[in-house]
């Protein structure tokens, strides 16, 4: 099969090439990929970011990609509840189910959670093998392109469980990337009355999109976003802030936006250390909450959310490219020229 492969350690080293088809092993499902998307994790693997390499221990050559929708092409021995031809998506995180955290209902922080496209061969290919318990049926009315964004939708749904948004809340987001804009949509669906997006001068196209989603937009390096948010909120600040930039200054910016007693959810996986005065948390009783991925229960919910249309994921798509142009898609993301970039393979 054709696949997008991280061929060797180090930055770059990407090739669209022939690669062996996955085996049909007991307990697994082989999916023919119909749509797939780029994520920040893919960008980190491409760049060979130290934090990503330390966490996932990738071993090239490795087929990249973990966001997908497709059709069941084969089922292994012992697999039930799914048949060849079924439309499906897949949870790419292979949590172990045995460690302390899995048994406590927290598989998102499992001690051993290899992931498609980072430790296991992923979905930037015609076929991908996934264990049965990670495969979920896809509502017939949901297009493959929309369904390919189920994984990022699940991250946002998990974030809204960790840091709930109440009707009437002011919600600010730091970082107008795909996840940041998705958090805007999720907060709006949860009843937020006011949305604010903070970006940088180089994010103007993305900020324009955030404005079209109903957000007040602020440029963090050209003004005082904290003062602007307080002016919008009668001097209080945002009830909830989601840090989605992964930039060392993102937490500092979030602390400037949040009100006393407010909550900050941290989704951005920073590439460098952040420095801030912890007295701000203490004096203002601000909750700082880490957010990582999702659990199977969220995946079961996600397809009802997809079918309802309450979170219009299609608004986030800026580019649709053939899979052989994966390198171009990555360059667009690096240049912040695209938001959500989907690949539609030639066989789809």
Q: Output the pTM of the full model.
A: 0.94
Those residues whose C-beta lies under 8 Å from the C-beta of residue 107, and which sit 6 or more positions away, are 93, 95, 97, 101, 113, 295, 296
Residue 348: which pLDDT band, with cuts at 50, 70 and 90?
Answer: confident
Report pLDDT digits (tens) over 123-143.
999 999 999 999 999 989 999
> Given this model, what pLDDT does residue 185 score?
96
> Given this model, what pLDDT does residue 24 score?
94
With b for 16 or more beta-carbon neighbours within 10 A and e for fewer, the 137-155 pattern comes to: ebeeebebbbbbbbbbbbb
> Given this model, what pLDDT does residue 269 score?
79
First to last CA, the chain: 14
Give the pair of three-digit tokens for residue 180.
């940041």
Q: Cα angle vertex 146, ends 143, 147, to 5°?
A: 80
> Given this model, what pLDDT does residue 338 score?
81
SS (H, E, C) 302-321: HHHHHHHCCCCHHHHEEEEE
> Given this model, what pLDDT does residue 202 score?
87
With b for 16 or more beta-carbon neighbours within 10 A and e for fewer, the 196-207 pattern comes to: bbbbbeebeebb
User: Quick check: 272 pLDDT over 90?
Assistant: no
> Homologous superfamily of 164-290 in CATH?
NAD(P)-binding Rossmann-like Domain (3.40.50.720)
- Reported as type and span, the H/E element at residue 348 is none
Q: Cα angle vertex 61, ends 59, 66, to 5°?
A: 80
Residue 163 near residue 265, CB atoms below 8 Å: yes
> Given this model, what pLDDT does residue 136 score?
96
* CATH of the structural domain 2-151+294-343, one choice from 3.40.50.1220, 3.90.180.10, 1.10.630.10, 3.10.180.10: 3.90.180.10
User: Quick check: 40 pLDDT over 90?
Assistant: no
User: Quick check: 337 pLDDT over 90?
Assistant: no
User: Quick check: 184 pLDDT over 90?
Assistant: yes
Report pLDDT digits (tens) over 42-79.
999 999 988 889 889 999 999 999 999 999 999 999 99
> Given this model, what pLDDT does residue 239 score?
98
Please give the DSSP secondary-structure letter assigned to residue 10: S
Q: Cα angle vertex 174, ends 169, 178, to 5°?
A: 100
Concatenate the DSSP letters of all residues of 268-290 into one string: ---SS-----THHHHHHT-EEEE
> Given this model, what pLDDT does residue 223 score?
86
> Given this model, what pLDDT does residue 328 score?
95
Closest CA to 271 of 43, 15, 33, 24: 43
User: Quick check: 35 pLDDT over 90?
Assistant: yes
> Given this model, what pLDDT does residue 227 score?
96
> Given this model, what pLDDT does residue 335 score?
87
Sequence spans of domains, the chain: 2-151+294-343, 164-290
């Amino acid at each position: 099969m054709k696949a997008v492969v991280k061929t060797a350690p180090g930055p770059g080293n990407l090739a669209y090439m022939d690669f062996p088809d996955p085996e049909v092993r007991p307990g697994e499902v082989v999916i023919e990929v119909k749509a797939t998307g780029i994520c920040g994790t893919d960008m980190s693997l491409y760049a060979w970011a130290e934090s990503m390499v330390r966490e996932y221990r990738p071993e090239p050559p490795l087929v990249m990609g973990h966001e997908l929708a497709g059709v069941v092409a084969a089922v292994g021995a012992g697999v039930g509840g799914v048949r060849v031809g079924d439309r499906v998506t897949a949870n790419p995180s292979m949590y172990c189910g045995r460690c302390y955290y899995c048994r406590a209902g927290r598989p998102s922080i499992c001690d051993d959670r290899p992931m498609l496209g980072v430790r296991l061969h992923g979905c930037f290919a015609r076929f991908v093998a996934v264990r049965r318990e990670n495969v979920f049926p896809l509502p017939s009315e949901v297009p493959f392109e929309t369904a390919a964004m189920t994984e990022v939708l699940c991250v946002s749904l998990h974030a809204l469980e960790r840091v709930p948004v109440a009707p009437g809340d002011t919600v600010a987001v730091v970082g107008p990337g795909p996840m940041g804009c998705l958090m805007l949509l999720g907060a709006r669906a949860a009843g937020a009355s006011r949305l604010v997006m903070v970006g940088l001068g180089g994010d103007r196209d993305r900020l324009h999109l955030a404005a079209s989603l109903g957000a007040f937009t602020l440029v963090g390096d050209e003004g005082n976003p904290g003062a602007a948010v307080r002016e919008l909120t009668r001097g209080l600040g945002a009830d909830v802030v989601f840090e989605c930039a992964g930039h060392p200054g993102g937490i500092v910016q979030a602390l400037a936006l949040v009100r006393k007693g407010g909550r900050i959810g941290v989704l951005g996986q920073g590439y460098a250390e952040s420095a801030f005065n912890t007295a701000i948390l203490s004096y203002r009783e601000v909750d700082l909450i880490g957010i990582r991925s999702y659990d199977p229960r969220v995946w079961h919910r996600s397809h009802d959310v997809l079918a309802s249309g309450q979170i219009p994921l299609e608004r986030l798509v800026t580019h649709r490219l053939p899979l052989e142009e994966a390198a171009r898609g990555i360059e667009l993301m690096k240049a912040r020229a695209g938001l959500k970039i989907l690949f539609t393979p030639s066989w789809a």
